[in-house]
A and B are shown apart, each in its own frame.
Chain A
Amino acid sequence: MSRGARRVVATLLCGAALASGAPRDAHAESKPVRVASKAFTESVLLAELVTQLERAAGVPAEHRVGLGGTRLVWNALLSGSVDVYPEYTGTLVDEILSAEAPPPRPVTRAWIGQVLARHGVAMTEPLGFNNTYAIGLKSARAGELGVKKLSDLKSHPELRFGLSSEFLSRRDGWPGLRERYGLPQTDVRGLDHDLAYRALETGSIDATDVYSTDAEIPRYGLRPLLDDLQFFQRYDAILLYRLDLGSHIGDVGLRALQRLEGRIDAAHMAAMNAHAKLDRVPEAVVASAFLREAFGVRAGTVQHSATREMLARIGEHLLLVVSSLLAAIAIAIPIGVFAARRPRTGEVVLAVVGVVQTIPTLALLVFMIPLFGIGGRPAVVALFLYSLLPIVRNTHAGLRGIPTPLLESAQALGLPARAMLRLVELPLASPLILAGIKSAAVINVGTATLGALIGAGGLGQPIFTGIRLDNLSLILQGAIPASLLALAVQGLFEIIERKVVPRGLRRAATP
């Protein structure tokens, strides 16, 4: 190793120690700031910026990547299982706040602040970009025509528009826009977004609808036009954080949050999106590059080897499945026995358990957050609830399906109810009960992937990251082990069946 190389290594090691080790020791007893993001690239990038800035300020921080939706993250923030997350003012007003108070028009930040305060939540000043609808033209074409803002389009009726069908139909999309600006264009057609970019490239259309920070804007060299009459609702990026955060991370931590205010413009955000999404640079790396450039901050990013990462995910996944399944077995079999013993009440029990099964997974996960926060616990509870039905139903069916002569023979022997259950009924029902447990386990392996949406990790993590980044190999890194796991579970149960189900019942058993 040359002297130069050695010096580089030493510097890196020091840097790593400074960035991660040392500050952590200083705050050893304090809980880390929990930063969350939603499952799309821009949100992950912003949360990553916050996480790295906090760490650089000496505040331990962790990033719960890609939680499954606005409501979910909001609830997590309210319940205190998340401290900070990036949001957009428009989303905040439309999806969360307008449900409790009619917002004034135009919405003011003061009003938002007031409503937030009632929930014990505050927001930073805007981070500097407004991620809303925009009309984009190729920069070169816009330059030729001298078009900079939307009102400039009025004097170019010959322009051809290819718009996404959603934008075409939304009242706050094309119809409203045309009315507000008095746009004269007549060649306006519906077009898939990806096709629209290609059509712009080949010159078969002149303009399309974009979000102002889309990764494709720098990639295709588009110019988003200025909304000079302020038609589109504002989606200013801000950070939401709990009001009690200051007491928990101190002024240093709060100031670190505020450093991002006004520092990210749409062009930079779009460039970061493009790097992460189109160049497939990990978000953490993109974020640290931005911090280095904008703030001169050297933030550490921890990169694990792919194998270690995968093993950790499989471990998390198994933990979710096994713990929820064990709990379900312990509860569901007694419920099934009870239901079989009391046919009337049994009907009700089965119906209730059945209803739980019909709750969409994501909705169930959202319900869990106020009760159990985010992370592994709510996921285990949700998986537990989903596992109940197959086991309860099969236990019930297995016991009810025992032929009367056998039951009466057992009763006539003088066996008390408990002994009869243990020695006769449960063994006779065991093929069905085991089949129920098996189907619960297999379903669980699949459903546990959704745990990634509430920060429970598992094999859903690479899947959802892959979906977010449109990265097939990443998706497969989660999907293939998950399918193999399901197959392994199936195989495992065939072995268990051989051990548990009495020989005399084996062939007769149909799950």
Chain B
Amino acid sequence: MTLGSVPILQLLSVSKRFGATASLTALNLEIETARTTVLLGPSGCGKTTALRLMLGLLKPDSGRVLFRGQPLGAEELLQARTRMGYVVQDGGLFPHLSALDNVRLMARYLAWPPQKVAERVAELAHLVRLPDSTLTRLPRDISGGQKQRVALMRALMLDPELIFLDEPLGALDPLVRAELQDDLAAIFARLGKSVVLVTHDLAEASFFGHVLVLLQEGKVVQQGSIDDLVLRPAEPFVTRFVQAQRRFDAGHAAQARP
């Protein structure tokens, strides 16, 4: 726990607002090293905004974002981003490039030797269980689940310390979703990286998360394990949120066990 006690990323009293929607007020948040943190909450709670602030895609109105204890200035940002990976909901693959070229875009830009690029791609394809034939295809010719695998490869290409995933399974059908969920969990466990995952789904959050952060209207309502949220809710809202999702799950369970 010596390493884990140093937060890899911190939001210190960060505020951000755009008009009425998705704004954050004096948010404090620490992302622990080598753990999976899940940002959880209803639509518009600010979880995606928090994620974009961490990546430096947005500048906070006030407060500070620290990566390994250092503030992210314009110059450090590019450098820091090569140590982060980002996967968006539908993969965010560049449609003009093949899956392979998407994956190796940054490595090529950094002028890695071709041999090293090829080895890393092969390694990642094996890790995410993507067949070689898929790598040569264009994004428009690949299924949704495989797009996410390619996107994950792209995010992992430079072997980042921190990986961000914004609802990575949100657009997938249940079967593909379940399969990918298992694979992602295995990959995270194997790589031992720091992961930040955004979802509105409590089951998914509990499946992945060491630490769950429940947000409501731009504030952290409760931070802890799934047991903390279920058994020791900090506010009535936590209970409401948990029960709303549980009821849905219970319904499913009842159908599955007649």
Contacts and interface: CB of A to CB of B under 8 A. Distances in A.
Given A413-B105, A414-B81, A428 B88 contact: no
Given A409-B86, A412-B81, A504-B95, A423 B105 contact: yes
Interface of B: 52, 55, 57, 78-82, 84-86, 88-90, 92-98, 105-106, 109, 138-140, 151, 154, 158, 164
A502 interface: yes
A41 to B, nearest CB: 57
Given A412-B81, A413-B106, A414-B106, A508 B95 contact: yes
Contact of A412 (B86, B95, B96): B86
29 contacts: A405-B89, A408-B57, A408-B86, A408-B92, A409-B86, A409-B92, A409-B94, A409-B151, A412-B81, A412-B164, A413-B86, A413-B106, A413-B154, A414-B79, A414-B82, A414-B84, A415-B109, A416-B78, A423-B105, A428-B94, A430-B96, A502-B95, A502-B96, A504-B95, A504-B97, A504-B138, A504-B139, A504-B140, A505-B96
Contacts of B140: 504, 508
Contacts of B82: 413-414
A414 B158 CA distance: 11
Contacts of A423: 105, 109
A424 interface: yes
Nearest to A413: B106
A410 B94 contact: yes
B132 to A, nearest CB: 19
B78 A505 contact: no
Contacts of A481: none
Contacts of A415: 78, 105-106, 109
Contact of B52 (A408, A414, A419, A508): A408
Contacts of A408: 52, 55, 57, 86, 88, 92
Interface string A394-427: 0000000000011011111111100100011001
Nearest to A419: B109
A420 to B, nearest CB: 10
Contacts of A502: 95-97
Contacts of B158: 414
Given A502-B96, A505-B95, A409 B138 contact: no
A468 B100 CA distance: 63
Interface in A420-455: 423-424, 427-428, 430
Contacts of A412: 55, 57, 81, 84-86, 164
A497 to B, nearest CB: 13
A405 B81 contact: no
A419 B110 CA distance: 11
Contacts of B96: 427-428, 430, 502-505
Contact of A424 (B84, B94, B138, B154): B94
Contacts of B89: 405
A326 to B, nearest CB: 25
Most chain A CB within a 10 A radius of its CB, from B55, B94, B139: B94
Contacts of B52: 408
B95 A411 contact: no
Given A408-B88, A423-B105, A423-B109, A413 B138 contact: no
A353 B79 CA distance: 38
A505 B95 CA distance: 6
Contacts of A419: 109
Contacts of B98: 504
A503 B137 CA distance: 11
A405 B89 CA distance: 9
Nearest to A411: B57
A406 B109 contact: no
Nearest to B80: A414
Given A411-B81, A412-B55, A405 B88 contact: yes
Interface string A109-148: 0000000000000000000000000000000000000000
A423 B84 CA distance: 20
Contacts of B138: 503-504
A389 B154 CA distance: 38
B110 to A, nearest CB: 9
A409 B152 CA distance: 12
A428 B90 CA distance: 17
A412 B78 CA distance: 8
Contacts of B93: 409
Contacts of B109: 415, 419, 423
Closest 6 CB pairs of A and B: A502-B96, A414-B81, A409-B92, A412-B86, A414-B82, A504-B138
Nearest to B95: A504
Contacts of A416: 78
A416 B98 CA distance: 21
A51 to B, nearest CB: 58
B219 to A, nearest CB: 24
Most chain A CB within a 10 A radius of its CB, from B85, B90, B92: B92
Interface string A239-276: 00000000000000000000000000000000000000
A19 to B, nearest CB: 63
Contacts of A411: 55, 57, 81
Contacts of A424: 94
A424 B106 CA distance: 11
Most chain B CB within a 10 A radius of its CB, from A414, A430, A503, A505: A414
Contacts of A413: 81-82, 86, 105-106, 154
A360 to B, nearest CB: 40
Contacts of A508: 95, 140
Contacts of A504: 95-98, 138-140
Contacts of A410: 94
A423 B81 CA distance: 17
A430 B95 CA distance: 12
A133 to B, nearest CB: 67
A503 B136 CA distance: 13
A412 B154 CA distance: 11
A508 B89 CA distance: 21
Nearest to A410: B94
A135 B88 CA distance: 84
Nearest to A406: B92
A228 B89 CA distance: 92
Contacts of B97: 502, 504
Contacts of A427: 94, 96
A122 to B, nearest CB: 65
A46 to B, nearest CB: 61
Contacts of B80: 414
A508 to B, nearest CB: 7
